[in-house]
Structure 1
Amino acid sequence: MVSQQAKDKVEKLIKEHPIFIASKSYCPYCAQTKKTIEGLTKDAYIVELDETSDGGEIQEALAELTGQKTVPNVFIGGKHIGGNSDVQQLKSNDELEDKIKAAL
């Protein structure tokens, strides 16, 4: 069971940051997602779950909210995008840049 505090924190992060990425510093899929998004904007807010004391709780809250247990977990404009494959699919369809511009 995820604490209400963790849920509130996650909802606040999603709401306050047009581009929010929950990541882990050692994850190759996270690295690919960050590189792709940072190629379009430097305004992404990234939380490295393995480097923050409540990272496990944040990841659990994200899983409860989205149904996705893995990282990266990406939100653009308050909407859940998904993981790396979803980000790469948006990029290959020329939709990623438009979503980012709309969010910023």
Structure 2
Amino acid sequence: MANVKKIINDKIAKKKVMVFSKQHCSFCLMAKKVLQKYVGKEIEPEDYEVWEINDDPNYSQLQEELKNMTGAHTVPRVFINGKFVGGGTDIRALDSSGQLVEMLKKKTNA
């Protein structure tokens, strides 16, 4: 895959919320469930993307680059407004504290 880092950064830059996920990961399902309740409200549908990286033939490279960018090899890797905010339990905690909705209300830097 040509420049994996560039592809990942382009996706992050183009979406208010970008989730790098695996389909059958329980923490990914947790994050997606929390975020989904904001789609159509604080998140415009076109500003939300989930990339199931285990479906990509370059999965290993993608996961390695996400580790380099975020410090962890696990998924999900959730970015809001271009900033890495965490994984499944982080998203759930941000939602419970009310911080997630505030992050989602902020305008993107684009």
**TM-score using structure 2 length:** 0.85
1:1-104 mapped onto 2 (5 Å cutoff): 5-41=3-39, 43=45, 44-103=48-107
Tell me if the contact between 1:74 and 1:80 (Cα under 8 Å) persists in the aligned partners: yes
Tell me if the contact between 1:21 and 1:75 (Cα under 8 Å) persists in the aligned partners: yes
Q: Superposition RMSD on alpha carbons, in Å?
A: 1.6
Identity of aligned residues (%): 28
| Equivalent residue pairs, number | 102
Q: Distance in 1 between matches of 2:24 and 2:107?
A: 27
Cα shift at 1:41: 1.4
Tell me if the contact between 1:48 and 1:55 (Cα under 8 Å) persists in the aligned partners: no
**Gaps (5+ residues) in structure 1?**
none
Q: Structure 1 runs of 4+ off > 4 angstroms?
A: none
Cα shift at 1:55: 2.2
> What SS is found at the alignment partner of 1:30?
helix
Cα shift at 1:66: 1.1
Q: Distance in 2 between matches of 1:51 and 1:28?
A: 17
**TM-score using structure 1 length:** 0.90
